[in-house]
């Protein structure tokens, strides 16, 4: 059973004391993940085990025991994200383009990068950040991209041919103000002029 109450997912997980204990939990998580059919990652606290073990399965199954993100890029990217604990929620998050991870059951470091021709690399890179977040009691909602603040005109007059940035939901575009006017009446927001 996958836990869906957010309050139960907001606790910090404890390190496992041995690789064996971690591998047992990892095997259980991979089994649960396979049963979901559509899932690409699962953290132990999502099945009620508050231990630092998570699994991802984008390109291949990876078990991570006591994982830590030890380095991240400054650059971030926007990712359309879901979570097995919140099956009907789809949000946009901000994730690091590159992360370096260490885990007790992997020698050396594991590197994940979203900068790749293969879209699966971006999924894997976001997924690993999502799962390690779970172990820290952080859910995807804590990473949700902030909606742009509506632009305040402060007396500035916008010319009909001035370019403006407008946004609606997940879309944004820069167009001439005169072309933006009907859209602004249609629910778009003026972000920048």
Of 11 and 174, the one with the shorter C-beta distance to Zn ion is 11
How many contiguous H segments (helices) and E segments (strands) does the chain have? Answer: 3, 11
* Stretch in the footprint of Zn ion (CB under 5 A) among 20-28, 56-64, 82-90, 98-106: 82-90
Cβ nearer to Zn ion, comparing 83 with 180:
83
Q: Which residue has the tokens 């099956």?
A: 87
- DSSP 3-state assignment of 10? coil
Rule CB under 5 A: is residue 13 a binding residue for Zn ion?
A: no
| Three-state DSSP string of 47-74 | HCCCECEEEEECCCEEEEECCEEEEECC
Nearer to Zn ion, 33 or 190 (CB): 33
Q: Which two tokens stand for residue 75?
A: 């650059």
- The catalytic position among 107, 131, 149, 171 is 131
Residue that the structure tokens 């999924």 belong to:
123
| Known catalytic residue at 81 | no
Does 44 participate in binding Zn ion (rule CB under 5 A)? no
Which three-class secondary structure state does DSSP give residue 119?
helix
* Encoded tokens for 142: 């804590």
Report whether 42 contacts 84 (CB < 8 A).
yes
Minimum distance, C-beta of residue 83 to Zn ion, in the bound complex (Å)? 3
- At 156, is the secondary structure helix, strand, or coil? coil
- Sole window of 52-60, 81-89, 105-113, 157-165 interacting with Zn ion (rule: CB under 5 A): 81-89
Stretch binding Zn ion (CB under 5 A), from 59-67, 77-85, 153-161, 170-178: 77-85
Coil, strand, or helix at residue 37? Answer: coil
Compare residues 32 and 190 and give the one whose CB is closer to Zn ion: 32
Q: Does 83 bind Zn ion (CB under 5 A)?
A: yes
Catalytic residue list: 131
Interface residue list for Zn ion (CB under 5 A):
83
């Amino acid at each position: 059973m996958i836990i869906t109450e957010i309050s139960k997912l907001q606790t910090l997980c404890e390190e496992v004391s041995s690789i064996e204990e971690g591998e047992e939990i990892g095997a259980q998580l991979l089994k649960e993940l396979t049963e979901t059919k559509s899932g690409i990652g699962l953290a132990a606290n999502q099945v009620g085990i508050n231990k630092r073990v998570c699994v991802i399965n984008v390109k291949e199954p990876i078990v991570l025991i006591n994982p830590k993100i030890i380095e991240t890029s400054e650059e971030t990217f926007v990712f359309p994200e879901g979570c097995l604990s919140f099956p009907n929620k789809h949000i946009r998050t901000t994730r690091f383009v590159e992360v370096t991870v260490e885990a007790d059951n992997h020698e050396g470091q594991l590197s994940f990068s979203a900068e790749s021709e293969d879209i699966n690399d971006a999924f894997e890179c976001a997924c690993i950040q999502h799962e390690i977040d779970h172990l820290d009691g952080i859910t995807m909602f804590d990473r949700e991209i902030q909606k742009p603040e509506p632009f305040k005109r402060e007396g500035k007059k916008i010319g009909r041919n001035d370019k403006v940035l407008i946004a609606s939901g997940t879309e944004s575009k820069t167009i001439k103000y005169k072309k933006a006017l009907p859209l602004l009446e249609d629910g778009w927001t003026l972000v920048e002029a």
